[in-house]
Amino acid sequence: MTIPMVSVVMSVFNGERFLPEAVESILDQRFREFEFIIINDGSTDRSPSILDSYQNCDARLRVYHEEHAGLIKSLNRGFELARGKYLARMDADDVAIKDRLGWQVDFMEVHQETGVLGGAVEWIDATGKSLGVYPNPAKDREIKADLLQARCVFWHPTIVLRREVFAWAGGYRSGVVGAEDYDLWLRIADRFQLANLEAVVLKYRIHPNQESMHKRKQQTLSTLAAQASASYRKSGMLDPLNAVKEITPEVLTALGVTEARQQSQLASDCRHWIRLMSMAGEHEAALKVALEVLCSDLEYCEQWQVADLHLTVARLNWRHKRFAKSFLAAGHAVAKYPIVLGRPLKALIRRLGFV
């Protein structure tokens, strides 16, 4: 094969359930000038044999079977092997729209100032049912303003970036587990412009086994660390994360992120994941997350956050006809923050048509 225009990089660890659909969505792209590099990160399920079967049928696909090293090392390895002018990400549980690569290459060829390009996504559940379309800000100024607030500005598996931009940034940093992409965007934003297509380029699957679900606590800590690191750089100081191998609560405290801030953000992010799981119909997974958070240290969390988690447990138990547990959780919610009782009452009043 001649040198491809795009190198698509995917890391797979025990992804057999959704893997064929993800692989085929890239191989079926209308844009054809790409190579597809897949790092099998030590999978113990049928993923290796599935990948080999596709590799035997399509010369554009290059599979590398490695010992399990984690997502960050696998992605850096994949991009190191890449030969394309542009580097693109893909995950093993998502589905790329047929014109994704074509649209993104066309944009990058015209907008030479753009270092990283993403796009809108359609959320889907485990069965492929649509959960709605979710765009991100499209323009550089909007993206960078939201980026500093730790709001989502890119869906990681939608991005395309220039090879030289990734090389300049030095790739993903190994210590920022769970927020390696957010940290990378912050560093790239120091020098390059960012953009998103308004069109949907990917179907983004929401399910309990996705990578970010398993690393949700570490993801929050790493996100806070990446934010602090960006603040240091903007102040003209050396990046403190260059010498950090693992983000811990103690490291964050040393960076000026208080325990109260850490706990509040952990509670907020977990509430976000609970809403996602509930939206996708994964109610047991949502309940498990809520109970785990309530069993953790919430000393510095605001009362309304704790009450909201109890109320969520009440709703989820009610859905499964565990009425005693539901009433108990609702009681805890009211005891923590009495005004929280008004939320379900307001919803009932609206449903009955009184407002």
44 and 160 together in one domain: yes
pLDDT of residue 350: 52
Decide if 187 is inside a domain.
Answer: yes
Domain encompassing residue 330:
214-351
Contact 118, 136 (CB under 8 A): yes
Decide if 1 is inside a domain.
Answer: no
Decide if 242 is inside a domain.
Answer: yes
56 and 32 together in one domain: yes
Decide if 14 is inside a domain.
Answer: yes
216: exposed, middle or buried (C-beta count within 10 Å: 0-12, 13-18, 19+)?
Answer: middle
287 and 193 together in one domain: no
Decide if 86 is inside a domain.
Answer: yes
Residues 325/326/327/331 CA torsion (nearest 10 deg):
100
| Phi, psi dihedral angles at 122 (to 5 degrees) | -110, 120
pLDDT of residue 7: 98
Alpha-carbon distance of 10 to 194, in angstroms, equals 22
202 and 222 together in one domain: no
pLDDT of residue 29: 98
pLDDT of residue 239: 94
Contact 113, 193 (CB under 8 A): yes
68 and 196 together in one domain: yes
pLDDT of residue 306: 84
Contact 81, 36 (CB under 8 A): no
282 and 337 together in one domain: yes
Residue-wise pLDDT tens for the chain (355 aa)?
589 999 999 999 999 999 999 999 999 999 999 999 999 999 999 999 999 999 999 999 999 999 999 999 999 999 999 999 999 999 999 999 999 999 999 999 999 999 999 999 999 999 999 999 998 999 999 999 999 887 779 999 999 999 999 999 999 999 999 999 999 999 999 999 999 999 999 999 998 876 655 678 899 999 999 999 999 999 999 999 988 999 999 999 999 999 999 998 988 888 888 888 888 899 988 898 888 888 887 777 788 888 888 888 888 888 888 989 988 988 888 888 787 666 554 554 454 454 4
Residue 225 to residues 134, 171, 232, 253, 261, Cα–Cα distance (Å): 26, 17, 11, 10, 12
**What CATH number does the domain containing 328 carry?**
1.25.40
| Phi, psi dihedral angles at 67 (to 5 degrees) | -70, 155
189 and 58 together in one domain: yes
179 and 286 together in one domain: no
| Total structural domains within the chain | 2
Decide if 99 is inside a domain.
Answer: yes
340 and 285 together in one domain: yes
Whole-model pTM: value is 0.89
Decide if 87 is inside a domain.
Answer: yes
219 and 197 together in one domain: no
231 and 125 together in one domain: no
Residue 338 to residues 208, 301, 307, 331, Cα–Cα distance (Å): 32, 16, 8, 9
Among the candidates 209, 244, 278, a domain finishes at 209
pLDDT of residue 343: 58
276 and 143 together in one domain: no
**What CATH number does the domain containing 148 carry?**
3.90.550.10
